[in-house]
Amino acid sequence: MSVNKTLIIAHRGTHRDRGDENTLIAFQRAIAAGVDGLEVDVQLYGNRLILKHDQDGVVPADVATFGDFLALVATSQYQGLLLIELKGRVGAEQLYRELQAKQLPNAVMLQSFQELPLRKWRRLDANVPIGYLRHVPNMVSWRLWRDGIIQQVNLDYRYWYLAWLRPFGVKTYWWTPNTRGWTTLLRMLSVRGIITDIATKIL
């Protein structure tokens, strides 16, 4: 894989509607299509890390666990990037421990909208890539960058003009540009990664 290539990352897998996003079936489809990376949403519920986006306290009986996701990656011999988002402020250490125990060869990035998990991951591992999810950068972004907590800022595609951060050494990943026009623009700007629902259509 070229180091200059814009990575195409399947946002919660390849899904036909919100009903099967972030499920093992959605990730199986994305793997079969050959996407560059998988973005997965994980949250702690009770003592389990589960695959779920909404933090509404509702958990389907058949919900997959983070361990199930890692097992799928291992058994399928998928080699792409794993972009793992923790929802909420709890579960960072458990997520890291489960990931390390699996000893996958994949490149990994841990990400969150919350500052606390980012700092906890950095205390656990001086080298793991960490990204801060934001619509636009703020003072917390700059503080995390200055403190060596994050290497990436993962931004809302509607603020594409902030791609000028790249010459300063800030890698940018852009989430949910879901039309060919937006993904083409971001590719022309040579951003590091595009996290999209239409990944399999733009490979």
Domain ranges of the chain: 7-201
Long-range contacts of 138-143 (CB under 8 A, 24+ apart): 140/115
Read off the tokens for 17. 């509607």
Which fold does the domain 7-201 belong to in CATH? Answer: TIM Barrel (3.20.20)
Gap between the Cα atoms of 138 and 9, Å rounded: 24
pLDDT at 3 over 60: no
Per-residue model confidence as pLDDT tens digits over 134-186: 998 889 999 999 999 998 889 999 998 888 766 566 778 999 999 999 999 99
Rounded to 5°, the CA angle 176-28-14 comes to 25
Compute the mean pLDDT over every residue in the chain, rounded to the nearest whole number.
Answer: 93
pLDDT at residue number 1: 44
For residues 85-105, average pLDDT:
98
Per-residue model confidence as pLDDT tens digits over 22-68: 999 999 999 999 999 999 999 999 999 999 999 888 888 889 999 99
pTM value surpassing 0.85: yes
- Please indicate whether residue 4 or residue 46 has the higher confidence score (pLDDT): 46
Residues of the chain with pLDDT > 90, as a percent, come to 80
pLDDT at residue number 60: 84
pLDDT at 2 over 70: no
